[in-house]
Amino acid sequence: MKKFIRLILFLIIILAGFPIVSFASKEKGEVPILQIPVISDVHIGDGKAEDKTTKVLKDYKTLAPGYRAIAIVGDMTDCGLEEQYDKFNKLLEENMSQGAEKIITIGNHEFFEGRFFKKPGLTDEILTDRFIRKTQMPGVYYDKWIEGYHCIVLGGEKSNLSDETIGDKAIISEEQYKWLEKVLQKKVRPDKPIFIFLHQPIDNTVYGSTQWGGGLSDGRLYNLLREYPQAILFTAHSHYPLNHPKTLYQNNFTMVNTGAIRYILGEDGTVRSGDMQGLLVNVYKNRVEIKARDFAKDIWINQSTINLPGKQSFIDKIKRNILNR
């Protein structure tokens, strides 16, 4: 009996550290302060990808008229070719909400020209510069404030061109980590979410990250973000479906899988080429609602609400106090 009571107390302590998650919006009809469509893994490179992207972008204009920002969490192109960026930009400009801010993240496929088109003199620096030039983002990593909410974009900086052992890992430089540590502190408030975007997930977190993690298992990124319970990290890469319980994963902060537009990949390796899934983020005064959409079936397939402010777990506070002695 004592063991059972200790187990219950332990679970209460652990769960108390998370922003409370429910599966429905609290007040029907309440208007969000901010709406952000979040998609990933578009893979512009053939007609099917273009048709799917057009449908998804048009649907978002119906689902969230006048949304103020849209996030594309990497792999907007299939190989990072100039013409693929051009096609993607044209589709986005023609079909996104007029005047909306763009939040665009570099993915591993933006480096794939170096893998499949062996051109003399091609370097990772050329490919990252191309991403910046074509997307008109401030850099591979940067931050923006949208309607008073902090949006932080992270990005891999190297590929097989620099080191053949890298594969599809997210290589984050020391400079980028130091920048992130500083930028997280800007105008920080426990009751205001911090939205963070990175193509590859932290290993063994959200659904798909065990098989398709970004090689971020050293704890560096996690240990920075764990200090901010209000942080919400959106990651892509796996193409795994959004109707799984671990689409949203919490461990001192929140991590969310973003699905994929080009195709959905089953855990057994089955490619669901007709499927396309993405998220709609609704921001309210004291919570963030995240809804998952199946655009092939035109239905919502998952929904959760993160209540704010979040609290750091009791156990994490103890660990932090010990380390700071």
CA distance 198 to 155: 6
The per-residue b/e assignment along 137-172, b for 16 or more CB within 10 angstroms, e otherwise, is beebbbbbebeebbbbbbbbbbbbbeeeebebbbbb
Residue whose token pair is 């004592």: 2
Distance of CA 247 to the CA centre of its chain: 11
Q: Is 194 helix (H, G, I), strand (E, B) or coil?
A: strand
The answer for 57, left when phi > 0, alpha when psi is -120 to 50, beta otherwise, is alpha
Distance of CA 255 to the CA centre of its chain: 8
Q: Give percent of the chain above pLDDT 70.
A: 86
Distance of CA 214 to the CA centre of its chain: 12
Identify the band that residue 188 occupies on the pLDDT scale cut at 50, 70 and 90.
very high
User: What's the mean per-residue pLDDT of the chain?
Assistant: 88
Does residue 316 have a pLDDT over 80? Answer: no
pTM for this prediction: 0.88
* CATH architecture under which domain 31-323 falls: 4-Layer Sandwich (3.60)
> Which residue has better confidence, 174 or 4?
174
CA distance 58 to 63: 9
Q: Is 294 helix (H, G, I), strand (E, B) or coil?
A: strand
| pLDDT for position 322 | 36
Q: Give percent of the chain above pLDDT 90.
A: 73
Does residue 16 have a pLDDT over 50? Answer: no
Give the phi and the psi of residue 181 in degrees, each rounded to 5: -55, -40
The arithmetic mean of pLDDT across residues 75-86, rounded, is 96
Contact assessment for residue 229 and residue 312, using Cβ atoms and an 8 Å cutoff: yes
Q: Choose among 107, 162, 156: nearest CA to 135.
A: 107
Contact assessment for residue 107 and residue 199, using Cβ atoms and an 8 Å cutoff: yes
Could you count the other beta carbons within 10 Å of the beta carbon of residue 278? 27
Burial of 244 (0-12, 13-18, 19+ CB in 10 A): middle
CA distance 292 to 286: 20
Identify the band that residue 317 occupies on the pLDDT scale cut at 50, 70 and 90.
very low
What DSSP letter does each residue of 108-139 carry, written as one string? Answer: GGGGTHHHHS--TT--HHHHHHHHHHHH--S-
